[in-house]
Chains A and B, each alone.
Chain A
Amino acid sequence: MAELNTGGKQSPRVDLTPMVDLAFLLITFFMLTTSLAKPHAMDVAMPDKDKENKDDNLEVADNRTLTVLLGANNKIEYYMGQLEKPLDGPTVVGYGKNGIRPVILKKMKEVQAATGKGLIVIIRPSDNSNYRNLVDILDEMKIVNAQQYMIGDISEPEIELLKREGVY
């Protein structure tokens, strides 16, 4: 009897190479068009400022306030207390884990030991600082877990100070 030879012995394999090619092409496409790293949001609260009668004469104890001036070239100048008779500083430091961070941590401990209350950090960006500096210092506040900090406007004598130290 004549048998039909319809290739029953042929292997059922399919060549998958074009399929893999296509899959990798699509993967590449999706990888390039996806923005996997979604941006993060840092919340900032500014002091209320529409009170016309009082400017910013918030009375705070000198021994609890650390004023941080953001200068040019990624430099910070800090002092403790009032500018006329600072309790410490003014000193120029950089950003990051070897710059301002140990200073704030040390001050936080000292203030806590001396007064039993937390440190107040006042951030004053100068006109020559950039946006990254502002984010860096705010991030630093989050890292050291500082409870009280605010962003204020820089004053003329402070700009003079920055100029004298060559960071304006």
Chain B
Amino acid sequence: MNDPRDSDFHDEELSALYRETRDAEPPAWLDRRVLTAARAAVEPHARSATPLRQRRGARFWAVPVALAATVIMAVGIVRLARETGELRMPPEMKAVQSLAKPAAEQDAVPADEAAPQATGRALPRTEPPAAPQPSPPVTGAIQTAPPVPTIPSEVSPVKAPSAKREKLDRLQATPARMEEGEAVRDRVVERPPAEWLAEIDELRRQGRTAEAEASLREFQRRYPDYPLDAGLAVPR
């Protein structure tokens, strides 16, 4: 065990005497503790060998699967919204959204509040007709909206589309008056730009192109700097 040169540093008598003192041993509880630790260090490794790979695999696929699920869900929601028409915005809302801030401020007055003021003179003529057949999603969305008759419109902004629909219905009930050129000017004076543009859009949808163009020309004459949204599909 020791190399020969070590013999100078080895005393056999002392070694023999020392061996007689070698009775001290670690206590049994310490043996158990160490052996338990040794087994515990190995057994989890053996048990978790396969699950560890599976966990790694699961972690590897977790992100792609989550992304795919998100995309599928988003596409499904968009398709569903398109089919039910909830994604399409009512024309009047489109017009409001597309206009600049000053127009939005003008439109800040709730529809139900503005209605009585306009009703006396030009409301029946100036309100655009109800959404025609080519835009069923709009009507579908409105029809599916729950009626809230007991809540005042001033308190509930949800009711604003319903009020506008009432106006549209009233306008649809009096389409003949819309053909008059003076009527166009009247409602130009009375209506804010947003509603005016919505009306133009609605006229165009109804196929009343000449009237729509006349109204648009009047609008541009009155608001030459007003930005027009291409999405409105106003004939130019």
Do the two shown chains form a genuine complex with each other? no
Q: Which residues of B contact A (CB under 8 A)?
A: none
